[in-house]
Amino acid sequence: MKKTNMQNLSLFSLTWPIFIEVSLYMLMGNADTLMLSQYSDNSVAAVGVSNQMLNLIIVMFGFIATGTTVVISQYLGAKQKAKAMKIGYISISANLIISLFISTAIYLFAEPLLLMMGLSEKLLNEAAVFLKIVGGLAFIQALIMTFSAILKSYGFTKDMMAVTIGMNMLNITGNYFAIFGPFGLPVLGVTGVALSTSISRILGLVVIIFLVKKRIGMTFLSKQFFLIKKEYLKKLLKIGIPSAGEQLSYNASQMIITYFITLLGAQALTTKVYTQNLMMLIMLFGIAISQGTQILIGHYIGAKQFNAAYSRCLKSLWWALAVTTVTSFLLAVFSKPLIGIFSSNSEIIATASLLMFMTIILEPGRSFNVIIINSLRAAGDAKFPVYMAIISMWGIGLPIAYIFGIHLNLGLAGIWFSFIADEWVRGILMYRRWRSKIWIEKGLAA
């Protein structure tokens, strides 16, 4: 096993590979959108709604992966390597069983699920094809997430970066052949994009399994996969289930907001997809910093270095605020030519540009949540973010989205105002929670 000393790893050394990995992972979605935009705006909208559904499904896989990162990090910080290894095996087994069941359900019920989203008939066929292919093979993504969580917990963030680079190259190449049909090949459109995404993930999983065996010594055929001990599973679920609850609440509320946007028409839906693809370039900074911070804080908590954990979170927060504010401003200033890459529709470009300027206020608020919520989870304090998410998203975000976006006819600008209100209310509550230090008594590794 290649050894890594977490005590000598800085936030930067953990985060920069995560930043590249996350940005490339997001690029897979953006590449699908950008390349499909040369094919059909309706195809972009169809895939956008399917991805909204898939994002919700991925959260259901992610609760095991989140628990894996936290518990393994704490055990490694406490120098309990054997227990960390057992957690890895259990997390893979549990997520495989769950994801196979969910993937089967998605494949069988793709059309009814999309109709529940209020999708129009002209978008339904393409959206259903994409959802059946990518969703039916979603268990591959579940395994990738779990193996990735294990590697990152041990500090091997560069490995996942390298795998993601390879997956993106395969995906973009596959998209090119599917959409543009070079050398006389048939143009497969949405079907081809779905196949390209799935095949690149399958090959990526094969490489990740090899890396986990090489770096950590875990083998996919070990008998330990069949020894799911209740003691360790409970520790995973103690972090994972509340984390999933927070993410499920967010994604479910986003699905309802997407339904509101479908009431505004296909153009509004397409504008939302293009704008959020651009926003992802801002969000990835906070996401990368939060994941690196989570790993470090998990190790600090396991080693009972609570002051180091406390200051690490706050330092990461200030970095995230600075970076997201500057990035938001720059992207807003250049938003029209950037959106113009996706669409030539002047109304889409104008509306998306307005939304990007509103994002200058939105994204710093989101930074509070992504940094501090992951820090609270790393410390074992996973329930509080769920309670606040339910109160804020459903009591503040959704009502404002309907009142301003639909009732007052402010359209997407009203929807974005609801995002701002939700992120800032939750962000301030998370900040106060971290400053209270209640999380100190909630570690799992002891």
The domain segmentation of the chain, as residue ranges, is 7-441
For every residue of 359-386, DSSP letters joined together read: HHHHHHHHHHHHHHHHHHHHTT--HHHH
- Calculate the CA dihedral of residues 363, 347, 344, 360 and round it to 10 degrees: -10
Q: How far apart are alpha carbons 112 and 292 in whole angstroms?
A: 39
Q: Is 52 in contact with 195 (CB distance < 8 Å)?
A: no
Helices (H), 137-265: 138-153, 157-180, 189-216, 230-264
Helix/strand/coil (H/E/C) assignment for every residue in 126-152: HHHHHHHHHHHCHHHHHHHHHHHHHHH
* 239-219-378 Cα angle (round to 5): 20
136: which 2 tokens? 């039916």
Per-residue pLDDT tens, the chain, 446 aa: give them. 444 445 456 777 788 888 888 777 766 666 666 677 666 777 777 777 777 778 777 777 777 888 888 889 888 888 888 888 888 888 888 888 888 998 998 889 888 888 876 766 777 877 888 888 988 998 998 999 899 989 988 888 888 889 988 988 888 888 888 877 777 777 777 788 888 889 999 999 999 999 998 888 877 666 666 666 777 778 777 887 787 777 778 878 887 888 888 888 878 888 888 888 788 888 888 888 998 899 899 889 988 899 999 999 999 999 999 999 999 999 999 988 988 887 788 888 899 999 999 999 999 999 999 999 999 988 888 889 889 989 999 999 999 999 998 888 888 999 999 999 999 999 999 999 999 999 987 665 44
Spatial separation of the C-alpha atoms in residues 119 and 126, rounded to whole Å:
11
pTM assigned to the model: 0.77
Q: Is 288 left (phi over 0), alpha (psi -120 to 50) or beta?
A: alpha
- Read off the tokens for 43: 């195809």
